[in-house]
Amino acid sequence: MTTKTEPGKHVLYLPRWYPNRYDPMPGLFIRRHALSVAKEWQVSVLYVHTDFNKIKSAYEIEAFHNDGITEVIVYARAFRTGIAKLDSLLNFFRFFRAHLKGYRILRETMPTPALTHVNVLTRCGMVALFLKFFKGIPYVITEHWTRYLPGMDSFKGSIRKWVSRLVVRNSSAVLPVTLNLQRAMESHGLTNSNYVVIPNVVDTSLFQPFPLPPAERERMFLHVSCFDDKQKNISGILNVLKKLSEKRQDWKCIMVGDGIHFRELVSYAEKLGLKDAFVQFTGLKENLELVKLMQKAQFQLMFSRYENLPVVIPESFACGVPFISTNVGGIAEHIHPQLGILLESGDENALLDAIETMLEHSERYQPEVIRQYALNHFSKEVIGKQISAVYQKVLGNTTLKSRV
């Protein structure tokens, strides 16, 4: 693993989620953030994965240099004593020690980081706080997690809250992916004078429009998700599609993805008489396979109960494809009438109307307008410049202005 060693330009990413040898999907959007700044900054990633698959030793370390960034992944074997609180404590110390081991590996070939960039609180934030106190390295935070949103009730525990507030207060900037998420974090006392909203990145060179105009495409639409029915309300989509199938039969919905409720939802679609006749389940699709499906769709849809800003929405925009979504989280910050339709969460009648409107009037949406919105708001070049500007101001001791 050989890299350049220009001092003062090294940014160390500390993500809580990241692609790994078990699953290439978690935290892929974090990797895209790292790639977006790699032209201007020397970027390394230190990711610790708690391993429940009984690796042979306490730690296994892999190091790569791909796509212009250096990645060190530490697999830390989880403790399983049978005592939950003891396991939690032991695994925390192993998680922290794994970061120290990975940091030493990075320092063998790379200069001291000028800055660390935490992605997802709280544990990785504690590592960054340690490096700030003992190494004098400032840090910024990007947050993606929905746990702060109203009704989630998953940001709890007095110690977690106290530590999270400490980490946020001592960061040089906080970069939530939506303004809605910023406000949710602030409502929990996660205060910082330098909040700057920066969305996720879309690979606009990969996600591109299909050459056929919408009116000439087959009547096919797409749902892409992690198949968590509590969040995504896919059963609600299926209920609506059952009603649609009783009114008209000139359409097909392709459902892409895998997850904890996949089998249950396939069974439910079969029970409703939708599977294969109207609804096709493809399982997980990535890269070109996913792009080809998006390009052929007249539109995409989600019926979620809560979200931040799912990356599938800007990916759809990059393909010039409009989107139907519930008005939850930060989605309303980006879905405008020229780009799609917003409706209230749980309103199945509104979803049915929106689908029929899209099927009949998809020519109202201009792929080039939708595509341009993606280029202006989510491209690697645009997001890279925004993040780089934050780094430069932090390292230049310039006070950032909140964009609220």
> In CATH, what number is assigned to the domain containing residue 187?
3.40.50.2000
Is residue 282 in a domain?
yes
| Shared domain check, 184 and 293 | no
Is residue 404 in a domain?
no
| Shared domain check, 240 and 196 | no
| Shared domain check, 183 and 53 | yes
More confident residue, 255 or 217: 255
| Shared domain check, 59 and 108 | yes
Residues 64-68 have a mean pLDDT of 93
Is residue 207 in a domain?
no
Q: Give dist(CA 203, CA 291) in Å, integer.
A: 11
- Looking at residue 397, its pLDDT comes to 60
Is residue 274 in a domain?
yes
What is the sign, positive or negative, of the torsion defined by CA atoms of 359, 364, 369, 374?
negative
Model pTM score: 0.90
| Shared domain check, 33 and 22 | yes
| Shared domain check, 272 and 363 | yes
| Shared domain check, 170 and 99 | yes
Residues 323-331 have a mean pLDDT of 96
Structural domain tally of the chain? 2
Question: DSSP state, 215?
Answer: G
Token pair 């009949």 in the structure block, residue: 360
The band of 216, judged by pLDDT with boundaries at 50, 70 and 90, is: low
- Looking at residue 150, its pLDDT comes to 85
- Looking at residue 5, its pLDDT comes to 47
- Looking at residue 52, its pLDDT comes to 83
The band of 288, judged by pLDDT with boundaries at 50, 70 and 90, is: very high
Is residue 148 in a domain?
yes
pLDDT tens figures, 329-385: 999 999 999 999 999 999 999 999 999 999 999 889 999 999 999 999 999 999 999
pLDDT tens figures, 224-244: 999 999 999 999 999 999 999
| Shared domain check, 257 and 184 | no
| Shared domain check, 322 and 305 | yes
- Looking at residue 56, its pLDDT comes to 84
- Looking at residue 243, its pLDDT comes to 98
Q: Give dist(CA 189, CA 27) in Å, integer.
A: 26
- Looking at residue 213, its pLDDT comes to 65
Is residue 48 in a domain?
yes
pLDDT tens figures, 119-154: 999 999 999 999 999 999 999 999 999 899 887 878
Is residue 3 in a domain?
no
C-alpha radius of gyration, the chain, whole number: 22
Token pair 């089998």 in the structure block, residue: 263
On the question of pLDDT at 282 being above 90, the answer is yes
| Shared domain check, 220 and 110 | no
- Looking at residue 214, its pLDDT comes to 61
pLDDT tens figures, 72-98: 999 999 988 888 889 889 999 999 999
Q: Give dist(CA 113, CA 302) in Å, integer.
A: 40
pLDDT tens figures, 157-210: 899 999 999 999 999 999 999 999 999 999 999 999 999 999 999 999 999 998
| Shared domain check, 388 and 373 | no
The band of 399, judged by pLDDT with boundaries at 50, 70 and 90, is: very low
pLDDT tens figures, 10-53: 999 999 999 999 888 889 999 999 999 999 999 999 999 998 87
| Shared domain check, 187 and 58 | yes
Domain that holds residue 292: 214-378
Is residue 356 in a domain?
yes
- Looking at residue 363, its pLDDT comes to 83
On the question of pLDDT at 8 being above 90, the answer is no
The band of 261, judged by pLDDT with boundaries at 50, 70 and 90, is: very high
273-280 LR contacts (CB < 8 Å, sep 24+): 273/242, 273/245, 274/238, 274/241, 274/242, 274/245, 277/245, 278/241, 278/244, 278/245, 278/249, 278/251, 278/252, 278/253, 279/238, 279/241, 279/252, 279/253, 279/254, 279/255, 280/252, 280/253, 280/254, 280/255
- Looking at residue 402, its pLDDT comes to 35
Residues 308-324 have a mean pLDDT of 96
- Looking at residue 349, its pLDDT comes to 98
